[in-house]
Amino acid sequence: MELPGDALVNFIFPNNAKVWWSVMIVLYPYLTGLMAGAFVVSALSHVFKIKEFKPIANFALIAAFCFGLFAATPLLVHLGQPQRAYEIYVTPHLTSAMSIFGYFYSGYLVLLMIEIWLIYRPYFTRMANQTKGFMGFIWYLLTLGQLEYNPASAKVDQKIIAVLAGIGIPWASVLHGYVGFVFGSVKAVAWWATALQPFIFLSSAIVSGMAVLFLMYTFIRWRQRQAYDFAMVRKYMAFLWGIFILDYALEVIELAFVVYERGYHWSLIEPLLKGPLFDSYAIMQMGILSVTPLLILGYVVLSNISGRMMIHMANFGSLILLLQVLFMRFNVVVGGQLISKSERGFVDFEWEILAKEGILTAIVLFVAPFVTYYIISRFIPIFDDPAAGKEGS
């Protein structure tokens, strides 16, 4: 008996008709990447002593903390029973990547808070001594009851800050590389199963974190009508361009290896890339959104361009890189699930706007770190020296 039409080609199991890891699981590695990338900028100043990045080192650290506060929130939204999320801490399973992540993520946030507290301790102390009433009590709590701050204390704090920043670099690498590890270890999904996945996630995280940090920096400077640090901008773009070249190379190598091998995985991936993911992956991620910033940032770094034109081109290149990494996250997370478990068809992904895991929820969660940064900037001098007498943001 013959089956009608393409029955064997488009067959999908009944329990595989929906993409379960959707927008929230795309946003989750995206936010953790912004956190990790912003921290790297801070570490380049505190650990590697790159003097051009010193004026934005504290700013990068605060931004990393703001993104970190909401990095795991998409996971809570995705869970069917979010009130039970605490069980990941009280019932540890060392063989579970997700269980281990809970400790790495929480420990990393604690490290960020300690480093921020050490940096701004002289400011907290000064404000506690100068302010009365309720706010004075708040500043007193932030000093942990220590109202004296001397040069000896400052010297010790700086050493601890450098040590914490040094520890934070591999910690951030593991934290975000683990996300790629989770996907890469799923052998049942051909689009995910590659040992390069952790490195691609990590390099793209640094790219997106640096890109969003630069956009925030230029917007704040423009809003406050303050001058740009053009020497810092040129050095910053050189780092961003170099890291993106590495990231793009890893993405090309990953695809080239599967194509060259021509194994079983390629028989599943080829129809995916020529079909559902052709526009978002081939045209957008690997084409327009990769080639454009490569050329723009390359021109900024290698030419003698300066002034406002350099800022405009750097901003445009950074914005395109943010979109490139977002497309990469979508193509990996959702794209891998489009291959039916029957391996004889593709699952349709339907966009939702007002659903629990819809676009509106994603926008709110993405905006939340920026709102948090704005609130923090009203109370501490992010761009000024905490040990100086200035008070501004």
Q: Provide the pLDDT for residue 393.
A: 42
Query: pLDDT tens digit string along 178-221?
Result: 777 777 766 667 777 777 888 888 899 999 999 999 999 999 99
Same domain, 178 and 266: no
179 plus 250 within the same structural domain: no
The reply to whether 65 and 140 lie within a common domain is yes
- 8 A C-beta contact, residue 335 and residue 281: yes
Give pLDDT, residue 10: 60
- Say whether both 59 and 176 belong to one domain: yes
**Rounded distance, CA 235 to CA 335, Å?**
35
pLDDT, residue 36, reads 87
Taking only the tens place, the pLDDT of each residue in 150-180 is 888 888 888 898 888 888 888 888 877 777 7
Cα 281 to its chain centre, rounded Å, is 20
Q: Are 24 and 71 within one domain?
A: yes
325 with 253, same domain: the answer is: yes
Structural domain tally of the chain? 2
Percent of the chain with pLDDT over 70: 92
What pLDDT does 15 receive? 59
Q: Judge residue 225's burial from the number of C-beta atoms within 10 Å of its C-beta, 0-12 exposed, 13-18 middle, 19 or more buried.
A: exposed
- Residues 43 and 158 reside in one and the same domain: yes
Alpha-carbon gap, residue 263 to 258, rounded angstroms: 7
- Domain-located, residue 296: yes
Domain hosting 250: range is: 188-197+208-349
Q: Which two tokens stand for residue 247?
A: 């990231």
Predicted confidence (pLDDT) per residue in 27-46, tens digit: 998 999 899 889 889 888 88
320 shares its domain with 357: no
In a domain, 11, yes or no: no
pLDDT tens per residue across span 355-381: 888 899 999 999 999 999 999 999 998
pTM for this entry: 0.88
For residues 221 and 319, state if they share a domain: yes
User: To the nearest whole number, what is the mean pLDDT of the chain?
Assistant: 86
- Residue 1 belongs to a domain: no
State pLDDT tens for residues 338-361: 887 766 778 888 888 888 888 999
Burial 269-285 (b: 16+ CB within 10 A, else e): beebbeebbeebbeebb
Report the pLDDT value the prediction gives residue 155, as an integer from 0 to 100: 87
Q: Do 279 and 367 belong together in one domain?
A: no
- Residues 164, 215, single domain; the answer is no
Q: What average pLDDT does the segment 121-129 reach?
A: 90
- 125, 154 Cβ separation under 8 angstroms: no
**pLDDT of 4 higher than 60:** no
Same domain, 227 and 246: yes
> Does residue 389 sit in helix, strand or coil?
coil
